[in-house]
Structure 1
Amino acid sequence: MGYLILVSLIWAFSFGLIKTYLTGLDPLFVGAVRIGIALLVFLPFLKVRGLPFSLLARFFIIGGVQYGLMYGSYIYTYQFLEAHKIALFTITTPLFVSVLDDFFEKRFRYRYLVYAAISVIGASITYYKATDVEGALVGVALLQFSNFCFAVGQVYYRRTLSVHETLKPLEHFGILYAGGMAVSLLLVAAGTDLSRISVTGTQWIVLIFLGILASGIGFFLWNYGATKTNAGSLATMNNLKIPLAVAVSLLFYEVITQSALIKLLLGGGVIVCAVYLSERYARRLPA
């Protein structure tokens, strides 16, 4: 649980950096650079000797889906939706996590789905605006695909590590980034004119910082944390970054209004309650 909270804090700060410094850059290029830097960070720790090809392929595919396809579809939604609408429509990830975990486990724990739904409600309280329901359907569909890809990756990685308990994540996580990088490069080749990209020194510093911390360490700790908690808490924790991101935005980038503060406290409180209920329910389950 602690890893998930730490990563949520890291991601909360990264939103402001992206909005302030990187909005003028090609989004597919930004995604590829961040994943590429994350890959470079984890390459020195990579140890694949002794691992079966089927397992390496599984990690590669997980990374391609969770990072490559997720980033590509998520970033492309900015062509159709405003930033605050994107933030709102990402809140369905807990539902995907809960449903996918039950699907892979071939059982249905309705309480986890209920707690995930409560988390969605909490996040929507934080971000809701009356006009947010009027988003372009193409953008909404792309964003739900992005949410689905991120959910598939973390759930399937958690399931894989539960079977291969002796594996050390640090020694194979570079394979996931390699899969994500492969997909990202294909997307860049198909949709980016590299000759028109100009990156300032400040933007490179931000890209390197985000690549190492938010994408590299962040994604690693998130998936590692996913293996250390129950599916219900994992689902609900996917929305913790939303009230945290709002809090960071209000503290460092915007004027704090009474209305925003009330929504932040209410939404964040609902999400915390959902996590607490999920943890309490998990402790009552048979080992």
Structure 2
Amino acid sequence: MIIRFRPSPIVVLCIVTLIWAFSFSLIGVYLSGQVDSYLAVFIRVFLAFLVLLPFFKPHQLPGKQLLALTFIGAVQVGVTYQFLYHAFSYLSVAEVLLFTIFTPLWITLIDEVLLGKRHLPMRWWLGSALAVMGALIIRYQNISADAITGFCLIQAANLCFALGQVAYRRLPIADAKLQVQTFACFFLGATLVSGLGSVLFADWQKVPNNLTEWLVLIWLGLGASGFGYLAWAMASKRVNTGQLASMNNLLIPAGILVNILFWQQSADWPRLLIGGAVIALAVWVCRPQTA
């Protein structure tokens, strides 16, 4: 007897969130300030492209859909990171985290207004707002006086990341095997944009120069990017817009928890627990309704 195990998409999104939470800590501890950010992004998405390339079967999709998938990867990863890393010139890490909490609202807004899907259920809007509120409880800190430029850059990054997620959900590729066979195009787009960013902005004196840095980058490329983005994209097709929007902010409490448990960082436990509970409530509010 063959037992087919297909985990819940929410479980998959939680697993990817945990992987990404570790990735943020690895970047902060082993790469930040030592390896140029543009080069780090280029290396990780290029490795992700290489690991998916053996599965690539372009004849499985029409050329227009392959081009659309390439464009989605270019926007969701490539362009997002260009805005994000520029924002660090104007904001502290805490401010960057604070300003990223608006991603759920961007996802909901794009799906309803920009891409023509009207009248989303009010509970999806409520879930998105709760996800923002929960993340705000966890991450709110005093903001520097000169943060307008940084705020605009982060919102541009949030918009690109949200647009990529919604666009992939609406791409007519439902079969899991077919998604694996074509996802290399996603990272092809990301590689092209991040490669251009490296050429224009990278400090080539800050290349990875020891085994630890390369091992972290390899994990980021193969695990966090290659597996992580593919699993997130596939799971996003099996949840509704409200659930996807809310899950985007789960990374904030997960990232803080990883820092506490593995890198002995201090934490404001009441804010972390209350904010995490509010985000969990947001996902529950957006659950599919049963008859």
| TM-score, length basis structure 2 | 0.91
The 2-side partners of 1:274 and 1:134 are apart by: 31
* Deviation string, structure 1 residues 240-271 (Cα, Å, up to 9, x no partner): 011111111122223445xx111110000000
Letter in 1 for 2:231: L
Counterpart in the other structure of 2:71: 61
Counterpart in the other structure of 2:125: 113
C-alpha change, 1:238 and 1:185, in structure 2 (3 Å) is same
Counterpart in the other structure of 1:283: 289
Counterpart in the other structure of 1:44: 54
2:152 maps to 1:144: no
Instruction: Return the structure number with greater helix share.
Output: 1
Deviates more, 1:218-227 or 1:135-144: 135-144
* 1:284 shift after superposition: 4.6
2:35 maps to 1:23: no
* 1:179 shift after superposition: 0.4
Q: Is the 8 A contact 1:27 1:76 kept in 2?
A: no
Unaligned runs of 5+ in 2: 1-9
Give secondary structure in 1 for the equivalent of 2:58.
Answer: coil
* 1:92 shift after superposition: 0.6
Q: Is the 8 A contact 2:17 2:251 kept in 1?
A: yes
* 1:13 shift after superposition: 1.0
2:162 maps to 1:154: no
Structure 1 stretches of at least 4 aligned residues deviating more than 6 Å after TM superposition = none
C-alpha change, 1:262 and 1:50, in structure 2 (3 Å) is closer
Aligned ranges for residues 248-259 of structure 1 at < 5 Å? Answer: 248-257=258-267
Letter in 2 for 1:81: L
Letter in 2 for 1:28: Y
The 2-side partners of 1:60 and 1:255 are apart by: 39
Which of 103, 109, 114 lines up with 1:93 in the alignment? 103
Which of 241, 261, 272 lines up with 2:269 in the alignment? 261
Q: Is the 8 A contact 2:250 2:279 kept in 1?
A: yes
C-alpha change, 1:122 and 1:135, in structure 2 (3 Å) is farther
* 1:178 shift after superposition: 0.1
The 2-side partners of 1:175 and 1:254 are apart by: 39
* Deviation string, structure 1 residues 70-98 (Cα, Å, up to 9, x no partner): 11111221111111111111111100111
Unaligned runs of 5+ in 1: none
The 2-side partners of 1:16 and 1:231 are apart by: 28
Letter in 1 for 2:59: R
Q: Is the 8 A contact 1:31 1:72 kept in 2?
A: no
The 1-side partners of 2:72 and 2:272 are apart by: 33
Letter in 2 for 1:237: M
Letter in 2 for 1:15: F
Give secondary structure in 2 for the equivalent of 1:239.
Answer: helix
Q: Is the 8 A contact 1:39 1:177 kept in 2?
A: yes
Give secondary structure in 1 for the equivalent of 2:289.
Answer: helix
C-alpha change, 1:284 and 1:203, in structure 2 (3 Å) is same
* Deviation string, structure 1 residues 139-191 (Cα, Å, up to 9, x no partner): 1111111111111111110011xx34347110000000000000111111111
The 2-side partners of 1:176 and 1:208 are apart by: 18
C-alpha change, 1:174 and 1:249, in structure 2 (3 Å) is same
Counterpart in the other structure of 1:205: 215
2:249 maps to 1:239: yes
C-alpha change, 1:85 and 1:158, in structure 2 (3 Å) is same
The 1-side partners of 2:41 and 2:285 are apart by: 35
Q: Is the 8 A contact 2:38 2:202 kept in 1?
A: yes
C-alpha change, 1:99 and 1:284, in structure 2 (3 Å) is farther
Q: Is the 8 A contact 1:81 1:136 kept in 2?
A: yes
Counterpart in the other structure of 2:19: 10
* 1:134 shift after superposition: 4.1
Q: Is the 8 A contact 2:236 2:244 kept in 1?
A: yes
The 1-side partners of 2:170 and 2:158 are apart by: 18
Give secondary structure in 2 for the equivalent of 1:165.
Answer: coil
Give secondary structure in 1 for the equivalent of 2:286.
Answer: helix
